[in-house]
Structure 1
């Protein structure tokens, strides 16, 4: 074993510089400031303490349990403020840096990962962070199973051993090369014993959530707001960040405003100081009006269509291929977004470790789509829609409004497919209803994405041994997804990930369309708001108000 964070071992945990350089080049640069940071204020004398920050988000968090299942980015914006992680991933280069852990190491086959903890950290209830805290948190996640969003990171978990008060070893029965990056995520944030004592299902309202983070919950009102108060004694933010002390602001209020136009109006009228989910049509307007933008291309799975491998239509290779040929990703991007959002060249976004360009398998050819269907025995009916064996080619596509341009995108996809003879039914609902739909399998196609700064996101989404929402029956793909997890050498792992991406796209299980770029809009008197390596809101210890 070789001790991290020395370069010899953190190569397992770092993004290849060339991939990151490509991703950064493709990302939108609307303000000319470094990605993920707020443009510098001219004449500013430095951070000012005090004030209350109001941040408008598009969705209710649903669950403030860090390892629970919430509503995506908006949930993570809130929970990131409550809990810290063992490691911090630097958005500049993808490297993993110390946080609650001062050092870490992995054995040669990535079945054991040892973390040495700081000895000066306390939870918000005053109890100290110890190795037992980490063990209890991880065991709790594993016990929760599918209820926890972090469960896929613990595949093969055999237990966490408390070596001493400030050292833990996390062990797996099979290699888990992605685990060190996983511990930098919110879902694996460490919680106190008092939180573990409360049943997992009873933690959603946040009252039981006790973390070591820089903020604590004041109150949560469903569909209205979540109010957090700053901890005066917080002093252990990652040293690699610009500010390791207590928050400058006194409080943060996350207000729920589902309509993007309402969020933008609230910002320009001074009712809020930060907004998430800036719609593409507002980007130029805000910038030209003097409202700074924080932006970063999201790593992880691009926006696109994924088939349900267990549905009649989703399991049909000809149908999958035809739908892929019938859609035009560039037209979707140009209609629904701006050129700040890259057209996808893979199922993984350009800022993701292990990304590979598989665009040679991404063709747009409606005429060929018709040929593929007809060669497979599909015939057009009098209504212009293909049918076979009495079944109309009318797939159900499910989606949610967690990103404002989604409706434009799916409606355009619907029109493109209708022009070929495929009659898509669109279904949308609230996040809990959408999640229930995925679990039940009552769909043929899903429109969506998932941000994570590691190529293992492919396994957590598409492996039959993980969430298995997509029920993809492809042994070759499954083997690749498991192989990359067992490969500790970064170059070899990237090669396996490249094969997995090619398999997903060439077999038309996933039809990538466009990347996501996160945009936050700021009032001119707000500074220090940053996006992390996952392109989600980092901790607001650095934020301050004029």
Structure 2
């Protein structure tokens, strides 16, 4: 997975921070979510199994996921699975619930300067890391500095810190975090596992072992990580001392479970079969198995859409035929995305119209729906206008003796979620329009070399983040793959850059949404992207599993789970 970018922001004169009254928890769309000094007891909530009876203590939950990871250090790895696993170990300064509300966690309150350059956190006392080290302001500073240190080689967390200039220990329970530019997305970033707080002792003494997980992963979280066997499983046991859950969480104490096991079962049939045969208690389900699992006795399935960038096909605007916007628009119109998503995903996934998911707080542009419907005739006219009117013996369009061929590289071992079937459908639709789509199966090293060099026509990607600032990674002109970003369309437009920078800098919720929705429209209207489907977590669980909820990213949370049998 490619590294993630640093969202940019617009410069503004520095002013002194001022406190704000403590409001109730509010959606991230609201001004109080940006300039927030604390939150209410209205607590984090989630989609999933609510408490049907009094919680029961004891037992071990076994949860199966599809993919493993080469690194379990969330400060380094950009992987979603790393975040799901290590959320059990590493707490965050704040909690962002599935409704977009911020809540105190390791920080009991916070103040944001009017120019959004300075965030001052008042920390909880009485919190300890798994190794006995006391949690304090110095620990927060050590973590943020460690993440930003080039020697850490962070592939994502460092970008979430944006224009970070440093953290000041005001007193043992107060830390002030500063940025060189207004940086409104920081609260959301601070709520992620990627900026989770690790023991400063482990950072100092085990820096070269943190990716190995297991006992090297030392946080303040509800579970202690005891064992990691790569591509097989991770073992956790309850942190009996845990008493600092996010404000309003259903379980304010130590987990009900004695232990948690996360198993890596990449084969879809094996993973779903493990659930129906009760070898595991819950599992991330493949879309192909959902109907079968739903029909099984004693199993319930939840469906939650991820926020962030939907699964999309990005078009390289700087290469070959795709430099012509008419050709890119023809690609958009030639593919019958509705039919493909409906037939492949059985109605479980929503067809996407914007690069952003509908569940992304404060930005989704619903007006893009139906703005580029499938129209084979329109695709043909656009290609004719672009000079690709002649066809060769195989039916592919040609111009100046050259076939209209597009290359889409991929790593076969990483294909999931029926994306190979989806790609075949796209290939077939483009062939009808006279466009040859070549799927290039390559190894990891070649993949990232091609990614950095821009030597591709099409690139597929999705990205989970509960903030529209994720768009800056994909569309800010400076966030090219060569620079560590995800601007795989290699879009470069001053007006687009201005919207993205303003979105990261403004504290006005309406202005923020306006800037990001303009960026969404630009991306679609200039045919830099073909949005395909909204990535969705399908999780099956035995009915005896209670208290399973999902956070703002649609990731499962295990601290409040218990088993009734």
Match of 1:262 among 270, 275, 281: 270
Structure 1 residues 517 and 196: alpha-carbon distance in aligned structure 2, compared to 1, 3 A threshold? same
Conservation of the 8 A alpha-carbon contact between 1:214 and 1:541: no
More displaced 10-residue stretch of structure 1: 489-498 or 509-518: 509-518
| Whole-angstrom distance in 2 between the partners of 1:96 and 1:474 | 34
Q: Deviations over 1:68-118 (max 9, x none)?
A: 225x33222111111011111111x21111011101121112111111110
Retained in 2: the 8 A contact 1:190–1:212?
A: yes
Higher mean displacement: 449-458 or 285-294? 285-294
Aligned residue for 2:110? Answer: 104
The answer to whether the 8 A contact 2:283-2:539 is kept is yes
Question: 1:503-542 alignment to 2 at 5 Å?
Answer: 503-542=522-561
TM-score normalized by the length of structure 2: 0.86
Q: Is structure 2 residue 460 aligned with structure 1 residue 447?
A: yes
Greater displacement, 339-348 / 125-134: 339-348
The residue number in structure 1 matching 2:201 is 194
Contact 1:294 1:530 (8 Å CA) reproduced: no
How far the C-alpha of 1:465 sits from its partner, in A, is 3.5
Between the two proteins, the alignment pairs up a number of residues equal to 522
Q: Partners in 2 of 1:478 and 1:146 — Cα distance?
A: 26
Pick from 212, 227, 232 the counterpart of residue 205 of structure 1: 212
Normalised TM-score (structure 1): 0.89
Counterpart position of 1:178: 185
Deviations 1:431-450 (A, max 9, x none): 78755653453432222311
**Given the alignment of the two structures, is residue 346 of structure 1 paired with residue 359 of structure 2, yes or no?**
no
Gap regions ≥5 residues in structure 1: 16-33
* Displacement after TM superposition at 1:313 (Å): 4.6
Is 1:463 equivalent to 2:473 in the alignment? no
The question of whether the paired residues in 1 share the 8 Å contact of 2:106 and 2:124 is answered with yes
**Quick one: distance in 2 between partners of 1:513 and 1:343?**
6
Would the aligned equivalents of 2:74 and 2:196 in 1 still touch at CA under 8 Å?
Answer: yes
79-88 or 144-153: bigger deviation: 144-153
Query: What is the match of residue 27 of structure 1?
Result: none
The verdict on how the C-alpha distance between 1:35 and 1:407 changes in structure 2, with shifts beyond 3 A counting, is: farther
Q: Distance in 2 between matches of 1:236 and 1:428?
A: 47
Q: Among residues 150, 165, 182, which one is paired with 2:157 in the alignment?
A: 150
Name the counterpart of 1:38. Answer: 49
| Partner in structure 2 of residue 225 of structure 1 | 233
Moved more, 397-406 or 284-293: 397-406
Query: Which structure 2 residues correspond to residues 372-521 of structure 1 after superposition, within 5 A?
Result: 372-378=382-388, 379-399=390-410, 401=414, 403-427=416-440, 437-466=450-479, 467-469=484-486, 470=488, 471-521=490-540
Aligned: 1:363 with 2:369: no
Q: Indicate conservation of the 8 Å contact 1:219/1:226, yes or no.
A: yes
Secondary structure of 1:371's match? helix
- Sort the Cα spacing of 1:430 and 1:336 in 2 relative to 1 into closer, same or farther, 3 A: farther
* 1:540 match: secondary structure: coil
- C-alpha distance 340-312 of structure 1, shift in aligned 2 (>3 A): same
**In structure 2, distance between residues paired with 1:97 and 1:503:** 34
Whole-angstrom CA distance in 1 between matches of 2:32 and 2:452: 32
How many angstroms does 1:236 deviate by?
Answer: 0.8
Given that 1:153 and 1:460 are in contact with CA atoms closer than 8 Å, whether structure 2 keeps it comes out as: no
In the TM superposition, what are the counterparts of 1:281-360 in structure 2 within 5 Å? 281-289=288-296, 290-353=298-361, 354-357=363-366, 358-359=368-369
Q: Tell me: CA distance 1:364–1:203, structure 2 relative to 1, closer, same or farther (3 Å).
A: same
**Equivalent-residue separation in structure 1 for 2:135 and 2:269 (angstroms):** 43
Shift of 1:344: 1.6
The answer for the alignment partner of 1:18 in structure 2 is: none
Alpha-carbon separation, structure 1, partners of 2:416 and 2:343:
15
Which residue of 2 is the match for residue 31 of structure 1?
none
Contact 1:346 1:356 in 2 (8 A): yes
> RMSD value over aligned CA atoms?
2.5
Aligned-residue offset at 1:318? 2.8
Offset from partner CA, 1:375-398 (integer Å, 9 cap, x none): 112242222222334543222224
Paired residues of 1:307 and 1:314 also in contact (CA < 8 A): yes
* Structure 1 residues 127-167: Cα deviation after superposition (integer angstroms, max 9, x where no partner): 01111111111111112386331222222221111111111
